[in-house]
Each structure stands twice: as structure tokens, then as C-alpha cells.
Structure 1
Amino acid sequence: MSATLTILADPRPRVLLVDDDPALRMSLEFSLDLEGFEVVAMESGEALLRLGDLPHTGACLVLDQNLPGVTGVETLRQLRSRGVGLPALLITSNPPPAVREAAKRVEARIVEKPLLGDTLTAHITAAIAAE
């Protein structure tokens, strides 16, 4: 079987990860892969919005709030308006009340940075299990 077919047939839960910090993005991609997730990582909300078919189940969106250009909440708002109902986590530090309210409106759970231990993994696992 070719590598492409293996990737396409990957049965692991998928995480669509968006963070503009290359070091953090690569670190999260590596650790989530070790935890058993298939990770699709990108650097911007715009990159996520350009993706064609998003999975309908078995996946979780993980977005940094403070992205350049389109923020995490705005990216989720646009995805929700397109009918994308995947569970979503918004990662950020010290979110102000306005961000907390906006996250609720797009049905995103906030996970505060720093991301210590298995906090993010636990939230992803719970979000996928609850869908």
C-alpha cells in the first residue's frame, strides 16, 4: 500500500490545528501525533477556510484566537455559517469577556495557554467523544 493511501485511510481522530507560531504549531503537531491523533496543521484562519471538504465527524478544530488576519473566533464564525459543526477549541491567554462571549456564540470551548501537561489532549478527546 502506498503512503498516500495510508494517510487517506488513517482511522485516527483528526485535529485541524491552526496557530501562526511555527514553533508552537510544530510542537503541538508532534505531541498530538504521539497521542494518537492525525494532525492537519496550518498557519492561518484563511488557510483553514480555503480547505475543501472538512470532515463531518471524528475531528476537532483547534484554533489560536490571536491569529494575524482572521482571528480564531472569526474563522469559526465563518465555518459555522457554512454549516461546519465540528467541535472547536479556542486556545488563548487571558481571554477578555468579549472573547469568551464570542467563543460561546460559535460553540467553542476556551483552553487557556500555557498548555500544560495533557490539558489540550484531554479537551480534544472529550470534544470528539461528545459529538
Structure 2
Amino acid sequence: MDQRVSSLAPPTIYVVDDDDGVRRALAFALDLDGFEVETFESGEALLLRDGLDAAGCLVLDERLPGISGLDTLRQLRARQVALPAIFVTSHPKPLMRDAAARAGAPIVEKPLEAETLIAAIHDLLRGPTR
């Protein structure tokens, strides 16, 4: 076994969703897949977090109380946080699809299936194919 691979810390997935049940279910599924997971109930709570792990990924519910997932991502980008992001939402409107595409963030539609989200996270963490 390659010791370099086994000694690397797993990426941290930052899950932002106002539904506690969704946060817990996603944290459980992501943890089982080997990720470190931090959960937040709002965009504002995530924005208070210092030192987001550059090897991680954001999973942002678009429809949040307070600032939206998209506005949360915009504020992080303004702070030079370049973590890849995925939006989760139900029935995204064309404006949301366009904004997500401009942000380089795929959308995974609700109702969520953990396997679909995990596959999207793995694709995002691998980066663009050449």
C-alpha cells in the first residue's frame, strides 16, 4: 500500500442546509464515504468559519433563510476562497442555472440521493478533465 496516500487527510466537505435532518443525513453519508464533514445551518454561519480547508468542497443549499447559497458563494469568492462548490435545490429556475454555471458550480436537484451527490463531489474534486 502506498503510504503517501494513506497519510493524506481526507477532503473536508462543508454542508450548508437549514434542514437539520438533511444536514445529519448528508454528514452521515459523506462520513461513510471517507470525507471529513462540517455542517452549517446558514450561509452566515459558514461565513463566520475561519480557515476553510483548500482541499475541500462546498455543498450549498440555494434556498436558505437569510442569505442564499449563491450569495454565500459570492461572498466567499470575494474573500478569495476558491473551494469548488455544488448547489442543492429543488426546481432550479433558469436564472439560478445560469448563475450556477457562471460560478462553475453544478446543481444537484432535490430530493437528494446521497450517491448522486457523492459522485458529483468526487467529480468536482478531481477537477476538469483535459
TM-score by shorter chain over 0.5: yes
**Aligned residue in 2 for 1:52:** 50
Identity %: 51
Higher mean C-alpha displacement, 39-48 vs 109-118: 109-118
Secondary structure at 1:101 match in 2: helix
Q: Given the superposition, is the C-alpha separation of residues 62 and 96 from structure 1 closer, same or farther in structure 2, using an over 3 Å criterion?
A: same
Q: Distance between the aligned counterparts of 2:103 and 2:12, measured in 1?
A: 20
**Aligned residue in 2 for 1:104:** 101
Which of 112, 119, 129 pairs up with 1:115? 112
Aligned length: 122
**Aligned residue in 2 for 1:37:** 35
Which of 12, 19, 33 pairs up with 2:17? 19
Q: Distance between the aligned counterparts of 2:110 and 2:126, measured in 1?
A: 23
Q: Is the 8 A contact 2:29 2:114 kept in 1?
A: no
Q: Distance between the aligned counterparts of 1:91 and 1:36, measured in 2?
A: 21
- Runs of 5+ in structure 1 lacking a partner? 1-8
Q: Given the superposition, is the C-alpha separation of residues 28 and 10 from structure 1 closer, same or farther in structure 2, using an over 3 Å criterion?
A: farther
Which amino acid is 1:94 matched to?
A: H
Q: Given the superposition, is the C-alpha separation of residues 96 and 29 from structure 1 closer, same or farther in structure 2, using an over 3 Å criterion?
A: same
User: Normalised by the size of structure 1, how large is the TM-score?
Assistant: 0.87
Q: Distance between the aligned counterparts of 2:63 and 2:113, measured in 1?
A: 19
Residue by residue over 1:8-47, the C-alpha shift from the partner in whole angstroms, topping out at 9 and shown as x without a partner, is x981111000000001110110111011110001100001
- Runs of 5+ in structure 2 lacking a partner? 1-6
Secondary structure at 1:111 match in 2: strand
Q: Distance between the aligned counterparts of 1:116 and 1:55, measured in 2?
A: 25
Alpha-carbon shift at residue 117 of structure 1 (Å): 5.0
Which of 56, 72, 75 pairs up with 1:75? 72
